[in-house]
A and B are shown apart, each in its own frame.
Chain A
Amino acid sequence: MERYVKGVGMTKFSFEDRSTHDMSHEAIQQALNDSDINIDKIDAAVVSTVDTEINDERQRMYGPVLSSLLKKKIPIIRVPAVCGGGGAAFWTASRLKYNNVLVLGVDKVLSSPTQLITEEIMNAGDNFWEQEEGVIFPAVNALVAQQHMLKYGTTHDDLLKIAYKNHYHGSMNPKAKFFGKKISLEEIKNAPIVSTPFNLYDCSISVNGAAAVIISNDKTDIKVEGSALATDYLAPFEREDMTVWNGTVEAGKESFKQSQIEPKDINVAELHDAFTIVELIAYEDLGFCKKGEGAKLIRDGYTNLDGKMPVNTSGGLKARGHPISPTGVAQIVEITDQLRNRCGERQVNNPKLGLTHNVGGAGGTTTVHIFKKVAG
């Protein structure tokens, strides 16, 4: 079954206090407009949103909520996979035998102080082995980074270059939290420590937002060439090698196999940079370089906007912002926009193949999607 992206839409990712209904409506309306269809043509929907205690509108039955908004009684499935929820929703939707499927990611996480958000996100780790031992998400990723540094000689400066790159990209994205705000490498290096060696700029920023994509059997100019989901053990300490995220390895292999292309063929990618180390490990686990050589890519500028394969032109989770479930959908929005050459000053030169990589937990659930620009 050949699948295409018809249209995309997203809100600005921000600290703005908006309801999920309001944000969903904006993203969906944009996606419908971009697709040049109205809601009548939507046959099914897949929504990803986290079940959180930390906002003022906790809602477990988000499917029917969306039904109320759409004023439709179509099949609506909820696919939660925390930070990987958006990608998992797209993966699910692309397997449904409906013509036009709406994929929505929406989350309002900023209704609470940092410590409550920290606890909420920590709940994506193992209950007794990790949560009880204070393994908040910056900590688990910092431990992984440290192992990578010990094993391969990666430095913290290498990681901070990823933060700098993504902030530079994000400063050019009107939908990004850090739009118009340039952050110097000096500021990044001098930021307060969160969990050694990580400082504030190693960590993505929590925001509110929604993103929507309409998948279709109707041929468009954006073809879904590869679509894979893989999992890995929940806790990195349980894995044979903490620096290899097998969910990324497996989903990447499968997606490239479906696309019949190689990593070197990708022109632009949105990689899951919840923490700087996650992007660096993804370079390696997706095959953009050999294991242990991720730092070389960032040192050489390979993933910069003017590099061989720009990564996170949207600003990534770092600078566009990370509203949890919408992230994976927003990555597809960016790649679609790049392939349609409508990214303004952050536009990559005429890309034909784009990749998205979305991770839930510390490598637990991973989706890799490959999109190809075709004649519409």
Chain B
Amino acid sequence: MSQHETTAWWGLGSGILIWLFLLMRFTDAGTIVDLPPAYAVETYVQMIVLWILASVVPAVLAPKHSQRTDKDERDRAIDALGDRLEGYVVVIAINALVVHALARATYTDRIPSVPIPDLGSTPALIFALLTTLLLADAVKQAVVLWQYRR
């Protein structure tokens, strides 16, 4: 397994763990809780630190001066495909959030039985946006792994 593939596995695993950390902090029994602002900021900072550490660890553990750590044209092509699909996921997810917000504003009053969750609160919006970023990153790592493994 190449260093880049190992890094992608690490990125996918750490991304899932960071999302579970967010889930633990932002939700209670499947519902987004109304976090105090200080607690939300603390969670956000912790998440950023975890994400930076998760990004740095594979580079630190990589064998030094090894050809395995240098990216060649195939690695760069795979990275570019991953980045492109990551961008698509962000665009789709942000549009889904916009459509969701519009649907809720438009239809909740008219059809109260339509179960559209409220993302209007600050914690819900933060959770949705951070989930979007983590989902996009997970898709990128999954695409990279698929390309290396196919």
- Whether A associates with B in a native complex is no
